[in-house]
Chain A
Amino acid sequence: MQEYLPLFADAMLLTLFIGWIGVIISVVLGLIAAFIQYFKIPVLRQIIKVYIELFRNTPLLIQLFFLYFALPKIGLSMSPQVCGALGLGLLGGSYMAEAFRSGLESVDKIQSESALSLGMTKFQALRYIILPQAISTSMPAFVANIIFLLKETSVFSAISLMDLMFTAKDLIGLYYKTAECLVMLVVFYLIILLPVSIVGSIIERRLRYASFGD
């Protein structure tokens, strides 16, 4: 089994790399989308709405197939790595947008009104009053989304990325060491996701102290 360890390690690095790039894209996209919806910017808002509904209601596997196999037919080919990161980012963006938007909307209108009447500028109200409260409410959904996205990376093997699933499947096919490979698969996913899960629950617990009002 030892000679396969480097293969799994390489695959894990690839999964981690593309997974976290996808997460970063999704956070950026989600923030943009959430702010567009929160400030009710016309036209853009409708586009964002369509994007969110479209990507929230389709599985990542289909999105990746579309990006990787369908788009080249109209002259837009990307490497599997780019497809993976982009697909994950687009999927995650729609989930993150919902999480951030519900966080922003959970802050009562009275809060921003009071801040403005205390003489704060709009930016100050957003920076010191709205965002801290919004962040602490959307944190659980945010952490859950990150774990969800990192889990979804297991689909990447479908577009011929050499990720953990692909490596495990390959080795099972080559050497018929099913049990060993599956154990390695589970262990490596634990290595990827357990720290995220633990750090996530610590952050959530700390932020719960910051909840306001009740």
Chain B
Amino acid sequence: MQALGIDALFRGSNFLRLLGGLGVTLELSLISVIFSILLGIIFGVIMTFKNPVVKVLSRIYLEIVRIMPQMVLLFVVFFGTTRLFGWNLSAEAACVIVFTFWGTAEMGDLVRGAVTAIPKHQYESSYALGMSKAQTYYHIIVPQTLRRLIPLSINLVTRMIKTTSLVMMIGVVEVLKVSQQIIEANRMTSPNGAFGIYAVVFLLYFIACWPISLLAGHLEKKWSN
């Protein structure tokens, strides 16, 4: 254990601090995911409109998110807008803004895909059966859309968790930053700390994301007919 430097983890409350850091990451991603799902559903429904102005605007928004690395967006919001407008933005707030901006586009695209994937005959058959518009949506369209959508949005959660690892670069103290601090503080007593601690962080991320991916995969398989 000494040689691998895992012993640094059990000194003092280091492991708890590391878990606390992971908590910060998870909390940030959870907040961003909730915002993105809510806004994304609205945005996705808006994208299904056939208004040309809406189409062009949403296309530009999607393309910006598709092309710009999240890190660049983080820098622009955290360093750029604060300098330009002179306001005071905490790093956490900047993260939530950027990841919501990113997640809304992703979620919106998923919603649009799920809605437009419903064939037209589903609407027509239910009208032919005498259902009203509300009934058609409630009994036919929304359940089918949700079945396609839920596994994909669960996947979005894991991607959000993975992307929030970037927040360390603008100075949020999360799991990676805490692990750096632990490694630095124990440099003398466990010189190989970097190996042990980073391996643990690697595994922690895996443990956080893997069950969620499994769940998404399971639901996708179960609901694909």
Contacts and interface: CB of A to CB of B under 8 A. Distances in A.
A26 B75 CA distance: 28
A53 B72 contact: no
B163 A59 contact: yes
A57 B205 contact: yes
B75 A182 contact: yes
A186 B83 CA distance: 16
A84 to B, nearest CB: 14
Given A58-B162, A182-B79, A165 B71 contact: yes
Contact of A73 (B67, B163, B195): B195
B76 interface: yes
A69 B4 CA distance: 13
A69 B210 contact: no
Contacts of A165: 71-72, 75, 169
A189 B192 CA distance: 37
Interface stretch (A37-45, A112-120, A146-154): A146-154
Interface size class of A (residues with CB under 8 A): 35 or more
Contact of B176 (A54, A62, A152): A62
B72 A186 contact: yes
Interface stretch (A3-11, A28-36, A126-134, A190-198): A190-198
Contact of B71 (A58, A66, A70, A155): A155
Contacts of A69: 194, 198
A154 B71 contact: yes
Interface in B149-191: 158, 162-163, 165-166, 168-169, 176, 191
Given A57-B213, A179-B83, A190 B169 contact: no
A158 interface: yes
Given A70-B198, A71-B195, A155-B71, A57 B210 contact: yes
Interface residues of B, number: 38
A73 B5 contact: yes
Given A61-B176, A179-B83, A182-B80, A189 B206 contact: no
Given A62-B201, A70-B199, A185-B72, A197 B67 contact: yes
B79 A172 contact: yes
Given A70-B195, A73-B5, A189-B67, A65 B76 contact: no
Interface string B188-225: 00011011011101100110011001000000000000
A58 B76 contact: no
B198 A62 contact: yes
A15 B194 CA distance: 26
A147 B194 CA distance: 31
Interface in A144-195: 147, 151-155, 157-158, 165, 168-169, 172, 178-179, 182, 185-186, 189-190, 193-194
A63 B80 contact: no
A47 interface: no
Contacts of A58: 162, 202, 205-206, 209
Interface string A67-96: 001111110000000000000000000000
B53 interface: no
Q: Name which of B67, B80, B192 has the most chain A CB atoms within 10 A of its CB.
A: B67
Interface of B: 4-5, 63, 66-72, 75-76, 79-80, 83-84, 158, 162-163, 165-166, 168-169, 176, 191-192, 194-195, 197-199, 201-202, 205-206, 209-210, 213
14 contacts: A57-B213, A58-B162, A62-B165, A62-B198, A69-B194, A70-B194, A70-B197, A70-B198, A151-B67, A151-B69, A165-B72, A172-B79, A179-B84, A189-B72
The 3 closest A-B pairs by CB, nearest first: A154-B69, A57-B209, A73-B195
Given A154-B72, A155-B71, A165-B75, 8 more contacts: A58-B206, A59-B162, A61-B165, A70-B199, A151-B69, A152-B69, A178-B80, A190-B67
